[in-house]
Amino acid sequence: MFHKEGHKIILGSLVVLIAITLASHFFMQNELHKKILVSFLLLVFILILQFFRNPKRKPKSKDHNILAPVDGKVVVIEEVFEKEYFKDKRIQVSVFMSPINVHVTRYPVSGKVAYSKYHPGKYLVAWHPKSSEENERTTVVISTENFGEIMYRQIAGALAKRIVNYAKEGDEVIQGSDSGFIKFGSRVDVFLPLNAKISVNLNQKVKGGITVIAE
């Protein structure tokens, strides 16, 4: 199963693959060169398919838990001053997605979307300290019964060129369901209350909509 955000890219890539393969048979005489070209194009196409895969997951609703919003590796767990919305101290948990990870973003909690905003910006590498504030990004805040307000932020990286965010203010959302996609991108930050009990460690691999990151 592939994410809907990749359907056009996958179809376009398939058309290009077929067109170049057919053209190579008419305009390239060297059989070895033909095989190398077609093999390379096929490899690129397989990588595109892998990037846009969307494995179906059915997480059980966990009202007292916060789930990882994306697949990847935990690269930050620290207390920070969040200055866009809360304007106070929060615990930041950041998950970095490599090109081979699933890039679907999922709601970490159920509740009502209280804030959703897109910010244009730079394309610093995702692990850069200033990427959370200077890169292209979207910020979403969900109001919950058990945790109060929880924020997550999709952050573009050096290769990301488009962030897709489905969250709209006033929406009632369900934990673990699709909240967006980062095309060829890279990191999601979650901002939690200071009294949240963190359930993950640095460098731990997590699965979006499955792994509990805090209680």
The catalytic site residues sit at 186
Question: Which residues, in sequence order, are CB contacts of 113 under 8 Å at separation 6+?
Answer: 140, 141, 142, 143, 167, 168, 169, 170, 171, 172, 173
Residue 194: count other Cβ atoms within 10 Å of its Cβ.
9
- Phi, psi at residue 183, to the nearest 5°? -75, 115
Q: What is the 3-state secondary structure (H, E, C) of 23-91?
A: HHHHHCCCHHHHHHHHHHHHHHHHHHHHHCECCCCCCCCCCCCEECCCCEEEEEEEEEEECCCCCEEEE
Among 21, 194, 191, residue whose Cα is nearest residue 94: 191
Question: What is the chain's length?
Answer: 215
